[in-house]
Amino acid sequence: MTQAPATPRANRRQHDREIVTLAVPAFGALVAEPLFVMADSAIVGHLGTAQLAGLGVASALLMTAVSIFVFLAYATTAAVARRVGAGDLQAAIRQGMDGIWLALLLGAAVIAVVMPTTPAIVELFGASDTAAPYATTYLRISALGIPAMLVVLAATGVLRGLQDTRTPLYVAVAGFVANAVLNLGLVYGADLGIAGSAWGTVIAQWGMAAAYLVVVVRGARRHGASLRPDVDGIRASAQAGVPLLVRTLSLRTILMIATAVAARLGDADIAAHQIILSLWSLLAFALDAIAIAGQAIIGRYLGAGDTQGARQACRRMVEWGIAVGVMLGVLVLIARPVFLPLFTSDSVVKDAALPALVIVALSQPICGIVYVLDGVLMGAGDGPYLAWAMLLTLAVFTPAALLVPALGGGLAAIWTAMTLMMAVRMLTLWLRARSGRWLVTGATR
């Protein structure tokens, strides 16, 4: 008896279940990450202003360094998911191990650069004379945790590729709790000051890396995958990551240009810009969770040779992105009278932030489409196109942003330029998705 084909409504329900199952835990894990910095700030803040300022400088440097290597998660997710779709779990985990070995190598290289140059880096970042010693202490100790942070990125990619976003959530929550307890004990109980906070974070990070490695190693043994480093596999992981590295660096450059332009407008504008940027980043977590689901789902469909399923999943995730974007935009508009007083009581800063806040709210549906299609193309392994598209976006955004002070524009003009940047990204990603050129099937791209 021939089974009747699934109806469009049944397909939508199936895609909805997959998206929710992967996206909700992914969102929890994403939110847990910045809580590390918040916990450290809350604990170190009671030591004094200079210590908190030093932590601010050091943590910003660390987060920048680690965010550059986020391709370890993205590229690994896509590669592993393809092999899962092809039904070859042994090769999937073997590919994941190559990503983890690459993370360890990159982490060792970063330590070799950061350790001897820490004072110079802190000085270059503009830390004050009172904050610089604390920043140097924190950065030098915390650098020892960078390999662990990169392993966590790569191992998270492995599990996402295996369609598992719950384990990263559990590990992230456990890591946050351990980090908070260790920081309290070492900063105050052992009286180590800011050094205690750094050591607590390093121990928590290596604990998280160890937890991930236990899970991956068990999977490797279950499916007979080798744990030894493979030069060709590591090289392939690095090559897949290069385009995504270019994409990430281009995006970081856009954010740095926007902040630099805001700084030229005056203290009130840069203060308001930081508030808006923090909200923009928070909203991105919700949209990025759908993108993460997209990476895993699309990679699996293409690995299985199911281009129709990949197209249908892409279409449904775009609908999710638009719906969540609209919801977030409405929430921002409703909450704006409450949101701004949480960060400042300065009426000048509020006046500067309010128009920009409205622009951010109105742009959220565009952001929803961008994040989803970004995740879809990452899941398809379409990194080279993403790199070129982001370079084009950078080329459009840079003159638009730099013209803001020259034309007498304010913070609203900067965030209008940011919305233009997202619109350009949406156009480039939509054209690619519509072309179907990303629909390359098979266990490898």
Tell me the angle at which helices 383-406 and 411-435 cross, rounded to the nearest 10 degrees: 160
Percentage of the chain beyond pLDDT 70 is: 98
* Tokens standing for residue 402: 């730099």
Calpha distance 309→148 (Å, rounded): 36
Calpha distance 208→150 (Å, rounded): 11
Residue 2 pLDDT exceeds 70: no
* Tokens standing for residue 90: 């042994």
Residue 264 pLDDT exceeds 90: no
Task: Render pLDDT for 302-359 as a digit per residue (tens, 0 to 9).
Answer: 999 999 999 999 999 999 999 999 999 999 999 888 877 877 777 888 888 899 999 9
For the segment 359-373, the average pLDDT, to the nearest whole number, is: 96
Say what the pLDDT of residue 281 is.
83
The identity of residue 436, as a single letter, is G
Calpha distance 45→175 (Å, rounded): 21
Query: What is the chain's mean pLDDT, rounded?
Result: 90
Using the CB atoms, write b or e for 97-125: b if 16+ within 10 Å.
Answer: bbbbbbbbebbeebeeebeeebeebbeeb
Q: Which has more confidence, 265 or 422?
A: 422
Calpha distance 82→421 (Å, rounded): 31
Say what the pLDDT of residue 160 is.
95
Residue 287 pLDDT exceeds 60: yes
3-state secondary structure of 84: helix
For the segment 5-28, the average pLDDT, to the nearest whole number, is: 84
The identity of residue 356, as a single letter, is A
In the block, tokens 């050129």 appear at 437
Is the Cβ–Cβ distance between 297 and 379 less than 8 Å? yes
Calpha distance 353→279 (Å, rounded): 11
Residue 3 pLDDT exceeds 70: no
Q: What is the 3-state secondary structure (H, E, C) of 334-398?
A: HHHHHHHHHHCCCHHHHHHHHHHHHHHHHHHHHHHHHHHHHHHHHHCCCHHHHHHHHHHHHHHHH
Calpha distance 366→226 (Å, rounded): 43
Picking from 277, 306, 299, the residue whose alpha carbon sits closest to that of residue 84 is 299
The identity of residue 161, as a single letter, is G
Calpha distance 399→28 (Å, rounded): 37
Residue 5 pLDDT exceeds 60: no
The identity of residue 363, as a single letter, is S
Say what the pLDDT of residue 364 is.
96
Tell me the angle at which helices 307-343 and 8-44 cross, rounded to the nearest 10 degrees: 40
pTM of the predicted structure, to 2 decimals: 0.90
Calpha distance 436→433 (Å, rounded): 6
Task: Render pLDDT for 41-58 as a digit per residue (tens, 0 to 9).
Answer: 788 888 888 888 888 888
Say what the pLDDT of residue 395 is.
97
Say what the pLDDT of residue 139 is.
93
Read off the pLDDT band of 4 (50, 70, 90): very low
Q: What are phi and psi of 40, to 5 degrees?
A: -60, -45
Residue 1 pLDDT exceeds 70: no
Picking from 321, 83, 55, 387, the residue whose alpha carbon sits closest to that of residue 195 is 55
Residue 278 pLDDT exceeds 50: yes
Calpha distance 364→360 (Å, rounded): 7
Kindly report the number of other CB atoms within 10 A of residue 150's CB atom. Answer: 28
Lowest pLDDT segment from 3-7, 385-389, 399-403: 3-7
Picking from 156, 195, 194, the residue whose alpha carbon sits closest to that of residue 175 is 156
Task: Render pLDDT for 121-170 as a digit per residue (tens, 0 to 9).
Answer: 888 877 778 888 999 999 999 999 999 999 999 999 999 999 999 999 99
* Tokens standing for residue 267: 């203290």
For the segment 95-101, the average pLDDT, to the nearest whole number, is: 95
The radius of gyration of the chain's CA atoms, rounded to the nearest angstrom, is: 22
Say what the pLDDT of residue 120 is.
92
Say what the pLDDT of residue 6 is.
61
